[in-house]
Chain A
Amino acid sequence: MSTLAEPLAAPSEPTTVELTYREAINAALEDEMAADEAVVLMGEDVSADGGVFKTNHGLVEQFGPSRVRNTPICENGFMGVALGMSLTGLRPVVEIMFADFLPTAGDAIVNQLPKYRYMSGGQFSVPVTVRSISGALGRFGTQHSATGESWFMSLPGLRVVTASSPGAAYELLRSAIHDDNPVIFHEHKALYGRKGTVRRGAIADLGKAAVLREGSDVTIVATLLMVERALKAADQLAADGISTEVIDLRWIRPLDLATIAASVSKTGRLVVSEEQVHAGGWGATIISELTMAGQSWHAAPRAVSLPADLPIPYSPPLENEIIPSVERIAAAARTALGR
């Protein structure tokens, strides 16, 4: 079995590069596959012309079709295969072309990956990373637009992580692959072309949220595409003299409640900005956990989310309308401040 102690191909001192989100994912895959022969990539058309979302350029050329493996269309089947691989020494990365197909692999994700170690009394570890291509605004219609980010957040044994920028994508994907547990890694399809700074060679801390902007009046917690919108909202609010702290939640399981509690203890106001229905998600859980822990609020926490009772529509203006906008996020913060 490979170990994390093996040297990495990526520079030991991180070097700073400008990459797109897509390239950052590619770089993380390349660095992990170069460092550890146990890492394999698998999924539908992962090696065909760089993959469906072009995240896998060059990998099959570099690592060969045995380690960059196209599968038939059978998510539950190949997720089970990944589990079997992980039990016998590999560290598979499974690409799920749209988050909406995670439930097609539902048995493997719910009943197998998170429980396998537990039900063996700890005999196994299950180092499987599931790359889920997530999110709306692609005009892909109601069966291809979910983030799915909170669907599996209640499963002990599993981890769930989200990437909001190129730098986060690189470091978090590496962190997911290094972890000895099953991790669902969500990448947002509307972010692939975004450019940003990547510390190549760095790896993110497991379970740590990132405070992207410090502020004292209100805290906004967001994931995925909502993070850049929250940052833009913070700019708008700053013009009105409101000081906003923006937290990229990153890990949905485990939730970094300590970082959020520290922020809210300072600001007393919380807005969760989610590309999902609020009920049953990380935003509701954060508010519940903080409240139960005795958090005191200056104002009731607020959520900017998808409508509770609408699936995501195809019709482009309707799709735009339901995804929380910069303006709606800023308005929620203002409401929390009574402004």
Chain B
Amino acid sequence: MSDPLSPDHVAWFRKMLEIRLFEEKVQELFMQGAIQGTTHLCQGQEAVSVGAIGAMRPGDVQTNTYRGHGEALALGMAPETAFAELMGRSSGCSGGVGGSMHLIDVSKGNIGANAIVGAGLPIAVGAAVAFQIRQQPHVALSFFGDGATNIGTFHEALNMAAVWTAPVVFIITNNLYGEYSPLRSTTPLDDLARRAGPYGFPGVIVDGQDVDAVHGATSDAVERARRGEGPTLLEMKTYRYRGHSRADPAKYRPEGELERWTSRDPIELLGARLAADGRVSPDDQAAMRAEVQAEIDAAADRAVQSPYPTLEETERYVYAG
């Protein structure tokens, strides 16, 4: 576990605010038509992205999903670059051809944001096995949802990781729903960490609202992997505040459920601790929020100035060499 007075806390707090306000801005830009198609937002899940990514070291890599804005920002993608990608502009991380579901930046260890459920897990195992083969001391993380634990690639990836003792950490962002389906309607378990048992490696249940718990559990798993002891499955218990995607009003949620989760909001939980130990007063937190908001607004304003790419300019993305 990290030191409770670690200076990281202030940075984490700021990063979680950045992710929250980024996502709110995405929603707003979507309503204005500046971002089109679909978006899968992660408000409520910020501690998972920030805490887990905080356990990575230079050279480590991760894969995530269409709901991957939190991981991308936590890995250090500039909000302007992310906005530009969501707006289809040439200054986006993927030159505008990827869009909301594919915030990717290999220079930051972000080797994939996938729109195919379950596709990121074997890719992370592949990266991990490559580290093994090349005797590099790195670890691969893979973020995916609760719903993804029902597709074949989840089980195939866990099995391969186990038999090859691959340095990989599987991170389930269990937000209780896969699209409109509550977990228990598609999955015979509440605690998905138990799915590690049959593959012979540890599965750990983690409070995904508590950035320290996330960071601690992920650090343990990452260092275990780095020591050559193999994979871990982490189950982050969390919640997405918004519907599955922009088209989803989330009417299927039982009354009071959202409120139960917002009462343990990850940003407020950390904010309360920072205030209680006198590190960042509520006023300073409010000032920080205003500052981040101004940065987000400015980033979106700059992104929208970026030109659209041309088809010719995207041709070089098709084949290498």
Contact = CB atoms under 8 A, between A and B. Distances in A.
B116 A143 contact: yes
Given A76-B152, A307-B311, A318 B318 contact: no
Contacts of B115: 100, 141, 143-144
A71 interface: yes
Interface string A62-75: 00000000111111
A175 to B, nearest CB: 30
Contacts of A70: 181, 185-186
B88 interface: yes
A321 B116 contact: no
A105 to B, nearest CB: 10
A313 B308 CA distance: 12
Interface residues of B, number: 39
A321 B313 CA distance: 14
Contacts of B97: 142, 311, 313-315, 318
Listed residue (A139, A140, A141, A310) with the most chain B CB atoms within 10 angstroms of its CB: A141
A45 B38 contact: no
B188 to A, nearest CB: 10
Interface stretch (B48-56, B143-151, B195-203): B143-151
Given A73-B148, A317-B308, A318-B88, A139 B98 contact: no
A316 interface: yes
A225 B128 CA distance: 43
Per DSSP, chain B at the interface is: loop
Per DSSP, chain A at the interface is: loop
Given A73-B148, A314-B37, A48 B101 contact: no
B187 A74 contact: no
B308 A141 contact: no
A104 interface: yes
A258 interface: no
Contacts of B88: 313-318
Interface residues on A, range: 35 or more
B89 interface: yes
Contacts of A318: 88, 96-97, 308-311, 314
A44 B185 CA distance: 11
Interface in B74-95: 88-89
Listed residue (B37, B98, B102, B319) with the most chain A CB atoms within 10 angstroms of its CB: B37
B38 A322 contact: no
A4 interface: no
A143 B99 CA distance: 11
B311 A141 contact: no
Please list the 9 inter-chain residue pairs (A to B) with the smallest Cβ-Cβ separation, ordered nearest first: A139-B37, A314-B99, A315-B88, A48-B180, A72-B150, A139-B36, A143-B115, A313-B97, A72-B186
Interface of A: 44-45, 48-49, 52, 70-77, 100-101, 104, 138-144, 307, 309-311, 313-318, 321-322
Given A45-B181, A73-B118, A100-B115, 13 more contacts: A45-B179, A70-B186, A72-B147, A72-B186, A73-B186, A74-B152, A138-B37, A140-B37, A140-B101, A141-B99, A143-B116, A315-B308, A317-B308
Interface of B: 36-38, 88-89, 96-102, 114-118, 147-148, 150-152, 178-181, 185-187, 251-252, 308-311, 314-315, 318-319
26 contacts: A44-B181, A45-B180, A52-B179, A70-B185, A74-B150, A77-B152, A100-B115, A100-B116, A138-B38, A139-B99, A140-B101, A141-B115, A142-B102, A143-B101, A143-B114, A144-B115, A309-B315, A309-B318, A310-B311, A313-B311, A314-B88, A315-B99, A316-B37, A317-B308, A318-B308, A318-B310
